[in-house]
Amino acid sequence: MATLKEVVQVVREVRGDKDEQVGRRLREIEHIVRKYHVLSGLTPQSATQLLEELGPTFVKLGQIASARSDVIPPEYAQAFKKLQTDVEPMPFPTVEQTLNAALGHPWQETFDVLVEKPLGSASIAQVHKARIAEHPRGVARKAVGACDSGAVADAAQAAASKPAAAAASPAAPASGPTPAAAAPASTSDSAPILSPEAAPPGTWVAVKVRRPQVAEDTLQDLALLRRVVALVGLTHTEQGMKLTLNDLVDELERTTREEIDFCVELRNLERFHSLLFDQPGVESPVPYPQLSTDDVLVMEYVEGPLISEKAAIRAHGWDLAKLGHAIAESYVTQVVDNGFFHADPHGGNIVVRDGKIVWIDLGMVGTLTVSQRALITKAMKAAVENDPFLMMEALLGATRQGSEVDYGALLEKLSLLLAQYMSENLSDINIGQLLTDILEILRKQDLSLPPEYTLLARSMLAIEGVLSDVAPNESIVKIIQTHIQRREFTWASVETKAREFGAAVLSSTESAAHLPTQMSHTLQMLNRGQLKVNADVEVEDRIIAALYSVCGTLGMALISAGLFIGSSMLCWTNMEPKLLGVPLLGALGYIGAFVLGSYVVWRNIKIRHKQKNLEL
């Protein structure tokens, strides 16, 4: 096992001579690491200070690790939650230079006001308030990093007949001079005048400007981390627990690459905005793709108090409890229904405007597949219904196993955990602590979660923090329960129609349909040593053959029943093509169910006849 000192030395020898910039950064990291005496061990507090001093990339790594109590000790995860990325604002001339270079022309040709004082400043970017000019020019078609080159080209073609007067006499800057050397000359061909629909004049917008060199510096740190992980493989914490760095670095690289490329955030904004269309009382900023590039993002400016500014919200006469409910309902919808959720929903990213919730800062989002959503719904249902078997099934489906799992111990710990929490009222359950306890159980069982789930866990902790602040009587667990029940009710109405056609089949196969699940649970308990069978069975070939026959017959019966039910549901649709007014696919399903069912009946008669002959 290599020591940290040996790793730093190897990386320096391999990379330092080839890239002086990388070498300097590596020496800087080594100096900071030595300062904190890492090889002698770190307390949670000193580890937090170390990450902050190492810079934004390592701060982000710590923030990701803060939700990974399945792979790091809980006390470190708790300490890393305090990591901050706020930094000193960029000088305004630097902001202007970056904006000019991104647009491909002086910013005064797009905005007639650009407020010098930033709305916020972080390690990757800072945000300024601006107002769209009377005849705004979009991003130059040849500008490097343009997010919407196709739309810009269309706008340029539509505006080809308009004069380039705005380029000759731009509006006076609102604050600070325009550095002439930093901005290329503007022409109507390279920087089209946008239509009022694409960029409404006089509209106040938020302009997010990426810091110079932040992408290069971040990717450089990621490359160094990759190198260290490749050399070390696995390292140890003070407690001797194995910590797989690959997962953390993978998640760090994915989230960081998304955050430093504003075109990704633009697409997130567009998708999020469309998904919120049918959610009353919930909104997100309108993005402006024809004004955005990979290092400048322009979106609607949202005026209103943050959800954490309770006094201001009350002054407007808005109900905090209703707002809290809307936040929780929207969040659960994002996770369960859409599979696309805000991954950083703290109080600073939720604004209240006209009594409505507005989600801002879509730099970090989570995406879940259909199967992942199904597992999450199953886990939520298991927690609400106090079902440890269902919870274990969901967790095993979601996790990656590092070694042989002790199923008996896992089930016992989950049973005790759920019993502890479900003895409380739903509104009193601390979902954050429940998630932390589940992650701790997984860590001790050498089970790790993929980054999609840990991102969800981190965002759910943030949501609970918001609710506990603004609507303490609101329960995320209750909303999850209501949401799941509503979904089941919707499906129940469809199933009721199907039962009108398949009641007889359902009644005869109901018991058989539960046999596979019951057999699976029984076998799992037997494997765990929780079920002991005292029997002396003489195994003969005919017994084995009979078992195979029973299993085969049962399988075909279930398939036949499934075809019948599915065909009944299809017959209620208007699916084309049709046969005698019935959807062809449904008719074929009925035929298949009839043929298979007939074969099962014939096979049973044949087996019984054979058994009678043997008895004689």
Task: Please give the residue that has the higher pLDDT: either 491 or 220.
Answer: 220
Between 558 and 200, whose confidence is greater? 200
DSSP characters for 238-258? TT--EEEHHHHHHHHHHHHHH
Residues in the chain: 616
Query: For position 449, what pLDDT does the model report?
Result: 80
Structure confidence at residue 59 (pLDDT):
81
* pLDDT (mean) for 533-556: 61
- pLDDT for 155: 35
For residue 387, give Cα distances in angstroms to 256, 379, 447, 524: 37, 9, 20, 16
Across 131-157, average pLDDT = 66
Q: State residue 613's pLDDT score.
A: 65
Quick one: pLDDT at residue 82? 74
pLDDT at residue 291, as a whole number = 94
Higher pLDDT, 448 or 193: 193
The predicted structure's pLDDT at residue 522: 57
User: How many Cβ atoms from other residues are within 10 Å of residue 603's Cβ?
Assistant: 14
Closest CA to 327 of 477, 482, 464: 464
Which of 31-45, 265-279, 310-324, 576-590 has the highest average model confidence (pLDDT)? 310-324
- pLDDT interval class at 323 (50, 70, 90): very high
Structure-block tokens of residue 348:
């600073």
Q: Which of 30-34, 233-237, 370-374 is predicted with the least confidence, judged by mean pLDDT?
A: 233-237
d(CA 538, CA 180): 94
Please report the DSSP string for 512-552 in residue order: HHHHHHHHHHHHHHHHHT-----------HHHHHHHHHHHH
Q: Which residue has the higher pLDDT, 71 or 279?
A: 279
571-600 burial code (b ≥16 CB/10 A, e <16): beeeeeeeeeeebebbbebbebbeebbeeb
pLDDT over 70 (residue 235): no
pLDDT for the residue numbered 164: 32
- Greater confidence (413 vs 248) lies with 413
Q: Which residue has the higher pLDDT, 526 or 550?
A: 550
Q: Report yes or no: 56 and 48 within 8 Å, Cβ to Cβ.
A: no
Strand partners, 358: 283, 351
pLDDT at 481: 80
User: What are the residues whose beta carbons fall under 8 Å from the beta carbon of 459, sequence distance 6 or more?
Assistant: 331, 341, 342, 343, 344, 345, 366
pLDDT beyond 60 at 436: yes
> How far, CA to CA in Å, does 311 sit from each of 161, 316, 320, 345, 357?
52, 9, 10, 20, 16
Residue 426: the pLDDT is 64
Rounded mean pLDDT of 574-579? 75
* Residue 310 clears pLDDT 80, i.e. is over it: yes
Listed in sequence order, the DSSP H helices in 337-475 are: 370-385, 388-398, 407-422, 431-444, 451-470
Of the listed ranges 154-158, 324-328, 402-406, 531-535, the least confidently predicted one is 154-158
Q: Is the pTM of this model over 0.85?
A: no
Phi, psi of 206, deg, nearest 5: -105, 125
Cβ atoms within 10 A of the Cβ of 545, count?
10
Q: Specify the pLDDT at position 166.
A: 32
Instruction: Give mean pLDDT, residues 369-382.
Output: 86
Q: If you average pLDDT over every residue of the chain, what do you get?
A: 76
Q: What is the pLDDT of residue 174?
A: 40
More confident residue, 389 or 507: 389
DSSP 415-437: HHHHHHHHTS-GGG--HHHHHHH
Residue 343 amino acid letter = A
What percent of the chain has pLDDT above 90? 24
3-state secondary structure of 402: coil
